[in-house]
Chain A
């Protein structure tokens, strides 16, 4: 048997080119060919079989379960922190306040400034914490799948940002004024507007929200695939490969461990970047001059 051949005999689980982006709830049952060979991670990992309501649009699978658990966890932490809030914070409250201050000062404050940003602090905080929590589930043992690794959740968050910066811009400049400020930036020679205006329109309509969503999802997908690759290689080398190859198992295990730490960093970084870009986009809508 060829050691580097995927053991899953799936014919072609993604016939439609829209399989990942348009169908976050579609379940492609991955044929788990147990035993023998090395299992390369594949995109089917992200479409586990349904737990209940199979075949309906409310289909509930492992990813949904992870999302529900992480939501409850996040809410529980903050409800407990809010209930026990004291004037002189203890260690737990201190940690929570540090996170909230980080969002308020280092993300929103830095980009929008204290005064303008005050209105958007709650929104950016919710986005930051949501992304952080769902990202972290990717490295929690027995969950091992980031809630944001399917496009549905990132798209929802990106749409929220999209609606917010449009509403903010229209409220400030009026619909025509907002479009004019964005599509026709001052200081550009007149004929160049033929090129600049469509690009800018594409930018505010599609590229900004799509890049927010794709960045988050692709990061989590790539991270998960990297971890699975390391640990399934470890399992293969340790339990199935020839004795001479077993030493490699230690190497891949160390790699997997390092990548787990790296994924923790990426989880926090992506939450930071999502919040940062959201505030940058809102701030761009509020600027007088583009």
Chain B
């Protein structure tokens, strides 16, 4: 049977994988930063410490997204 290709997508499915990998950290960052802002609003004098802790958490959450980038390049 002849198959007629009407449209074609080229590229790598890894790209989609990275998109999926970015969802989780996205949610994580949202919760993390939102909660920090909430904390700052409640207790402005603790803002400095909250911010430092937030960046620590951001570093861990963001790593997941970055692993997605690296894995995309590595396992293509």
Contact = CB atoms under 8 A, between A and B. Distances in A.
B59 A277 contact: yes
A185 B18 CA distance: 35
A14 B75 CA distance: 10
Contacts of A14: 73, 76
- Residues of A contacting B: mostly: helix
Interface string B13-47: 00000000000000000000000000000000000
A277 B53 CA distance: 11
Nearest to A2: B10
B52 A218 contact: no
Given A211-B63, A276-B55, A222 B73 contact: no
Contact of B70 (A111, A214, A272, A276): A214
Contacts of A222: 66, 69
Interface residues of A, number: 22
B75 A218 contact: no
Contacts of B74: 17, 20-21
Contacts of B55: 269, 272-273, 276
Interface string A77-110: 0000000000000000000000000000010001
A215 B66 contact: yes
A280 interface: yes
B66 A277 contact: no
B62 A215 contact: yes
Contact of B69 (A211, A221, A272): A221
B49 interface: yes
A219 B52 contact: no
Interface string A35-67: 000000001000000000000000000000000
Contacts of A217: 70
A219 B59 CA distance: 11
Which 4 pairs, one residue from A and one from B, show the smallest C-beta to C-beta distance? A218-B66, A273-B59, A218-B69, A215-B63
Interface of B: 48-49, 52, 55-56, 58-60, 62-63, 66-67, 69-70, 73-76
22 contacts: A17-B75, A20-B73, A20-B74, A43-B73, A106-B48, A106-B52, A110-B48, A110-B49, A211-B60, A215-B59, A215-B62, A215-B66, A218-B66, A219-B66, A221-B69, A273-B59, A276-B52, A276-B56, A276-B59, A277-B56, A277-B59, A280-B56
